[in-house]
Amino acid sequence: MQVSTSAFYSDTAKRMGAMNARAQTLQTEIATGKKIQNPSDAPGVSQQLAEIARKDADSQAYTANMKTAGSLLDQTDSVIGQIATAMTRAKELATSAATGTLNAVDRKIIGTELRSVLDSIVTMANVNNIRGEPLFGTAGTTQSVVEQTDGTFLYADTNVSPVPIADGQDVQSTETAARLFQLPDGTDVLATLSALAKALQAPDDTTQSTANAALDTLQSGLNQLGDVQSSVGARGARVELQQSLLQTADTDRAELRSQLEDTDITSAVVELQQMLTALQATQASFSKLAQLSLFDYIR
């Protein structure tokens, strides 16, 4: 089989061009640490990397949301616990008032402390969250709980917006003040405390029946606080679980991204050395063959 001189030169030039191009590609991969320099180099892989980038962006947003939600839930749990402690003290005072053996001075002392407990509960209910907004209210400066001159209470018209924590998942990060103090039957725990404190500070002895009636309300209020706090704790645990799942997913995506785009430096360097050696050998062989005359070739 005869091979023309032009074909020989063309084939050799193509081989050396391909080898040189591969060597340059390897040098770029080693320098950048990336196997793909342009999306057109590997469209399928580039599409996968774009999807990974999108999920990474979503993950960052969800991570920030969960951090905020977790902090709000922790604060909510803590404040509800403090309110429950104060409510327990109020129940103890109401129990003392219900004995019917107190004189006017003792009743007034209990009434004064009960009023102080009520004030502390209202203060805790109006605490601000980590963002400087009412924890149990709505964004802005409106207080969550406002006591009226007649001893009743107004609660902020609150719409607790859920916080997205994953695709198709969200969590309520706090509670409303009304949920803490208004019982299902419409009874207001704070109004009950206010009425009892006022009765105890009055000069006439009409507080025993009022205190007995208040005890049931206070116990129901404590039960409701316990239910709300349990719900808050469950949501906090859910956020923690989702944070763990998100971290695992982030790690898995990082490993996949590395497999898709990161250069195996050791392998690339070995291949580059082999490619350069082969290219040099090909160039040397071509140079020698090109110098042969037809006479030398057929001799």
> Higher model confidence: residue 13 or residue 74?
74
Rounded distance between C-alpha atoms, residue 33 and residue 188, angstroms: 66
pLDDT exceeds cutoff 80 at 167: yes
Percent of the chain topping pLDDT 70:
75
Residue 24: is its pLDDT beyond 90?
Answer: no
Give me the residues paired with residue 169 across strands. Answer: 166
Contact indicator for 95, 223 with CB cutoff of 8 Å: no
Give the integer Cα–Cα distance in Å for 67 and 184: 32
Nearest alpha-carbon partner for 115 in 214, 45, 187, 197 = 197
pLDDT of 293 reads 46
Cα first-last separation, the chain: 18
Is residue 97 within 8 A of residue 110, CB to CB? The reply is yes
Return all residues near 23 (Cβ < 8 A) that are at least 6 apart.
272, 275, 276, 279
Give percent above pLDDT 90 in the chain. Answer: 52
Specify the pTM.
0.77
Per-residue pLDDT reduced to its tens digit, 111-152: 999 999 999 999 999 999 888 889 998 766 678 999 999 999
**Lowest mean pLDDT, pick from 131-145, 197-211, 272-286:** 272-286
Question: Is pLDDT of 285 > 70?
Answer: no
The angle at the Cα of 148, spanning 143 to 153, to the nearest 5 degrees, equals 65
Residue with the bigger pLDDT between 296 and 205: it is: 205
Query: pLDDT-based confidence at 295, cuts 50/70/90?
Result: very low
51-107 pLDDT per residue, tens: 999 999 999 999 999 999 999 999 999 999 999 999 999 999 999 988 877 888 888
Angstrom distances, CA of residue 159 to CA of 137, 154, 174, 177: 8, 15, 10, 11
Provide the token pair at 60: 């960052």
- Given a cut of 70, whether residue 288 has pLDDT beyond it is no
Q: Could you tell me the CA-to-CA distances from 53 to 59, 133, 250, 254, 264 in Å, in that order?
A: 10, 34, 11, 10, 21
Model pLDDT for residues 74-88, shown as the tens digit of each residue: 999 999 999 999 999
Residue 93 has a pLDDT of: 95
Instruction: For residue 119, give the nearest of 96, 144, 152, 86 by alpha carbon.
Output: 86
Residue 239 phi/psi, 5-degree rounding, is: -65, -45
Say yes or no to pLDDT of 174 above 50: yes
CA distance 178 to 226: 15
**Residue bearing the bigger pLDDT, 170 or 293:** 170
Grade residue 243 by pLDDT with cuts at 50, 70 and 90: very high
